[in-house]
Structure 1
Amino acid sequence: MMYDCAIVGGGPAALNAALVLGRARRSVALFDNNQPRNGITHASHGFITRDGIKPDDFRRIAYEEVLGYPSVQHWQVEVTDIRKKEKGFEILTQSGAYTQARKVILATGLKEVFPGIEGFHKFYGKSLFNCPYCDAWEMRDQPLAVISEDPGIFHMTKLLYNWSKDLIVCTNGNALLTVEEKNLLGSKGIRIIETPIAAFYGQNGLLEQVHFTDDTNIERSGGFITPKWFPKADFVEQLGYDITDYGGIVTDTGGRSSVTGLYAAGDAAYVRPSQVIYAAASGSKAAIAVNTDLVEEEFC
């Protein structure tokens, strides 16, 4: 069977794309390896009618809605290869099965790589986060650490100052800030620490102290840390699509990649901010672009 569209991914971008295409009476093959990036998160925020929902509940409700459309078929399996053919694409899964589709939407997202600081994973998703718009409200007015090895730490700090005035900036041993930036942050009472971080201390997922390599400690009840981003699934060698400096797939406003018939949505297209509502919206746009292109082909 040749599906109208294969969607690779199981996050909000992929699920919203499947919903839109299902409602458009398109046959959809949805592949999801059930490894969501936000699975560690206690709750998702910023999505109207779903503010504070647990990620597992969001996925359960989404699948109930999506699979209510009979033309959408779901496989919980990893896609290992995608090949462009004369007519459409061939998708190979980890189970060894092949599927054919006229169009493909990649919505596999990005993976996060954080600095290797002792104790980090005990606190991530509980009192250490990476997205202010997702979690800063819950950490408002608390003593926080802003941790990054990227020059974007200056912008992140200014942003977080909106939620808490008690901030320290930790560059983890890197000289990231200009003299002017340091002076501006200092004028707001924000302390800058360039000494590398040795470990995070606390209990039950709640941060209590940041420990530095010079054996000093600073009490903090939480913080925001910037990861480095890499594609979660990489098919660029097989498909030859253009990528951004961050590894995201270059698309037009409708999610079309540089390869005809291939689309990308959500974090796979490096949609920012990295929030559920942005990802879902980009999935909807990609699905509409797929359906529009299929319609045009049918009337050629």
Structure 2
Amino acid sequence: MMYDCAIIGGGPAGLNAALVLGRARRSVALIDNDRPRNAVTHASHGFLTRDGVTPTEFRRIAYEEVLRYPSVAHLPTEVISVSKSESGFELTLTAGVTVNARKVILATGVKEIFPQIEGFYPVYGKSLFNCPYCDGWEMQNLPLVLVSEQQSVYHMAKLLLNWTDDLVVCTNGKMILTNEQKTRLLANGIVLMEQPISAFIGQNGQLTHVIFEDGTQLQRAGGFIMPRFAPATPFAEQLGCERAESGSCITDASGRTSVPGVFAAGDAAYFMPSQLILAAASGSRTATGVNLDLTEEDFS
């Protein structure tokens, strides 16, 4: 069978793309390995009518809605490779199964690369987060820590003052801030600690202390940590898509990449801010681009 479109990734971008294309009566293969990046998140926020929904519940509702449309086939498996074929694209799945499609949407998201600090994972997603728009409200007015090894920590520190006025910035041994930035942080009541971090200490997921290699202990009730991002799959590179320095696909306003027939949506097309509502909107926009191109091809 030749599908009109194969969507790789069942996050909000891929699911919304499948919904729009299914309603456009396009045959869709929605391929998802069921390993969402936000699985550790206790709740997702900022999505109208779904504020506070758990990732599991969001996916359950989304799949229930998407699979009402018989033209959408859900393939819960892994894509091994994607290649160009005479009639479109060939996707090789696990166990050697192949899927053929006229168009492909990469909705594969990104993977997070966090500083390697002992005690990180027991508190991550419970009291230590990476997105203030997602979790800042729940952390408001608490003594918070911001951990980052990137120069963008300066912008994030300014942003976090919307939620707390008790903030300590930790750069984990990296000298990434200018003297002017340090002065301005201090003038706004933000404490800077640049020594390497030894461990996060917490109980039942609740951060209590940050321990530094020099023996200093910092008492905190929660905070944010800034990861680096990298593409979650090699498919954009395999297909020869033009990519930004971050590794995300460069697309036009309708999600088209530099390779004809290949589209990208959500975090595969941009990395920040990483929010459900923006990813879903990107999937919707990209699906209309796919449908437009299919329509033009069929009409001519």
Contact 2:30 2:75 in 1 (8 A): yes
TM-score of the pair, normalised by structure 1: 0.99
CA deviation after TM superposition for structure 1 residue 234, in Å: 1.0
Q: Is the 8 A contact 1:265 1:271 kept in 2?
A: no
Residue pairs, 1:278-293, within 5 angstroms: 278-293=278-293
Runs of 4+ in structure 1 over 2 Å off = none
1:38 maps to 2:38: yes
Q: What are the equivalent positions in structure 2 for 1:255-274 lying under 5 Å apart?
A: 255-274=255-274
Instruction: Tell me how far apart the structure 2 counterparts of residues 70 and 36 of structure 1 sit (CA, whole Å).
Output: 24
| Stretch moving more, 265-274 or 137-146 | 265-274
Deviations 1:28-69 (A, max 9, x none): 001000000000100000000000000000000000000000
Q: TM-score, normalised by structure 2?
A: 0.99
Equivalent runs, 1:54-93 vs 2, <5 Å: 54-93=54-93
Conserved? CA contact 2:7–2:29, under 8 Å: yes
Residue deviations 1:104-158 (CA, integer Å, cap 9, x gap): 0000100001000000001000000000100010000000001100000000000
Q: Say how many residue pairs are matched.
A: 300
Q: How far has the Cα of 1:189 moved from its partner? A: 1.4
What is the distance in 2 between the residues matched to 1:264 and 1:193?
39
Equivalence map 1:152-163=2 (5 Å): 152-163=152-163
Tell whether the 8 Å contact from 1:198 to 1:212 is kept in structure 2 after alignment: yes
- 2:48 is matched with 48
Aligned match of 2:22: 22
Shift of 1:237: 4.0
Give me the whole-angstrom Cα distance separating, in 2, the residues matched to 1:78 and 1:269: 20
CA contact (8 A) 1:271 1:279 kept: no
Asked if 1 retains the 8 angstrom alpha-carbon contact of 2:229 and 2:271, the reply is no
Distance apart, 1:8 and its partner CA: 0.3
Distance 1:278 1:298 in 2: 30
The one-letter code of the counterpart of 1:133 is Y
Q: Take 1:245 and 1:150, find their aligned partners in 2: how far apart are those partners?
A: 15
In structure 1, list runs of 5 or more residues that go unmatched.
none
Task: State the match for 1:113 in structure 2.
Answer: 113
Give aligned-pair identity as a percent. Answer: 61
| Residues 83 and 90, structure 1, Cα contact 8 Å, conserved in 2 | yes
Cα shift at 1:178: 0.9
The within-5 A match list for 1:1-300 is: 1-300=1-300
CA contact (8 A) 2:79 2:92 kept: yes
